[in-house]
């Protein structure tokens, strides 16, 4: 069986990554269509050893499409995902538009693959926020074994999470610093080169940012509504790869060695945890990799049954494109969808 797949937002960072991963993982495609806005029509993007010409999303007929990987932003998704779903294609959306909708499953396959079956109400499945995705991959096996009561997380999020404009701004500012040029900021509220910005997305009334709120509500929806979580999200001058300092409080006693054993056997995780210089993973090393890496696992004696660890992942892959394609693989492997052309 092979499936017709459309990638909406194919010219963006995540859209291009989706095309690469579809080819890398040999997803069973009969046809792949690259879609974007009208201004990008005719732009060429790569799919394996082939080149695809971008077509206009707003003029495309989805009546024979099986899966639409949507990475065109929240406003576009709000308008188009229901229309595409109504035509019978399953939309796997990377934006925040549908994550908290009660009829839309919010999926990280290593954590809650079974919930994917609920997609048929709207034909939409949501990808979580990039910082949430890697966090719940790490929390799931620990929660199953030790019962997590509370999580305190501080993120160190790369500029690619803000798209190509964010990456360009870091590059241009860094070049300006070394050439004694003028450092200007447009995408970020303050200079990002050689700096940190404790502010991602808009501020909410309680003083938290929307990025921090997303981590709270998405973790509850994906993993367990009883888990208490607080987050501080920080943008850092790294191109690709989000890092997180995670502190958890468990219901059951937990040792660092027990946590290592549990994490080593969990899907999607690689434990790199040596007590020596370089015995841990950094975002530079995680870039281009599929795994969620866990390092610096240690007991926290300041709370009962406390544990701390360091979590790193490529935000363009596990945080977005890879997770979307893993969801598509769940649909295929669990026979939740059939190719429409073959069915006809």
Which residues are known binding-site members for substrate? 157, 235
Residues annotated as binding site for NADP(+)?
A: 11-14, 39-40, 160-161, 315
Contact 268, 318 (CB under 8 A): yes
Cα distances (Å, whole numbers) of residue 16 to 5, 12, 23: 14, 6, 11
Cα distances (Å, whole numbers) of residue 320 to 6, 18, 25, 56, 184: 16, 8, 15, 22, 29
Catalytic residue from among 130, 233, 250, 311: 130
233 is catalytic: no
Cα distances (Å, whole numbers) of residue 249 to 14, 129, 142, 245, 246: 34, 23, 11, 14, 10
The Cα 323–Cα 327 span in angstroms is 6
The Cα 240–Cα 69 span in angstroms is 21
Residues annotated as binding site?
A: 11-14, 39-40, 99, 157, 160-161, 235, 315
Residues annotated as binding site for phosphate?
A: 99
DSSP for residue 317: I
Catalytic residue from among 68, 143, 233, 242: 242
The Cα 32–Cα 10 span in angstroms is 11
The Cα 25–Cα 46 span in angstroms is 15
Contact 66, 340 (CB under 8 A): yes
68 is catalytic: no
- Which residues are tagged catalytic? 130, 242
């Amino acid at each position: 069986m092979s499936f017709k797949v459309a990638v909406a937002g194919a010219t963006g960072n995540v859209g291009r990554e989706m095309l690469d991963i579809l080819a890398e993982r040999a997803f069973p495609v009969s046809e792949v269509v690259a879609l974007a806005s009208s201004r990008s029509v005719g732009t060429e993007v790569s799919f394996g050893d082939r080149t695809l010409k971008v077509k206009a999303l707003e003029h495309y007929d989805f009546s024979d499409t099986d899966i639409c990987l949507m990475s065109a932003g929240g406003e576009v998704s709000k308008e188009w995902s229901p229309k595409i779903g109504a035509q019978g294609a399953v939309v796997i959306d990377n934006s925040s538009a549908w994550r908290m909708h009660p009829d839309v499953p919010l999926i990280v396959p290593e954590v809650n693959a079974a919930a994917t079956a609920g997609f048929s109400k709207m034909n939409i499945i949501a990808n979580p926020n990039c910082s949430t995705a890697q966090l719940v991959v790490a929390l799931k096996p620990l929660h199953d074994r030790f019962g997590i009561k509370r999580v305190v997380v501080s993120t160190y999020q790369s500029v690619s999470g803000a798209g190509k404009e964010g990456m360009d701004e870091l590059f241009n500012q860094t070049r300006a610093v070394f050439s004694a040029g003028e450092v200007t900021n447009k995408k970020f509220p303050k200079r990002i080169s050689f700096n940190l910005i404790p502010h991602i997305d808009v501020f909410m009334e309680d003083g938290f940012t929307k990025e921090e709120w997303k981590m709270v509500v998405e973790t509850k929806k994906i993993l367990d509504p009883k888990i208490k979580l607080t987050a501080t999200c920080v943008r850092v001058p790294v191109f690709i790869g989000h890092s997180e300092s995670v502190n958890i409080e468990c219901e059951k006693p937990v040792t660092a060695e027990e946590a290592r054993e549990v994490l080593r056997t969990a899907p999607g995780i690689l434990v790199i945890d040596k007590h020596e210089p370089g015995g841990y993973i950094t975002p530079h090393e995680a870039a281009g990799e599929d795994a969620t890496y866990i390092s610096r696992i240690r007991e926290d004696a300041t709370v009962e049954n406390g544990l701390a660890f360091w979590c790193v992942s490529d935000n363009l892959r596990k945080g977005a494109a890879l997770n979307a394609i893993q969801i598509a693989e769940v649909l295929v492997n669990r026979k939740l969808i059939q190719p429409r052309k073959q069915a006809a």
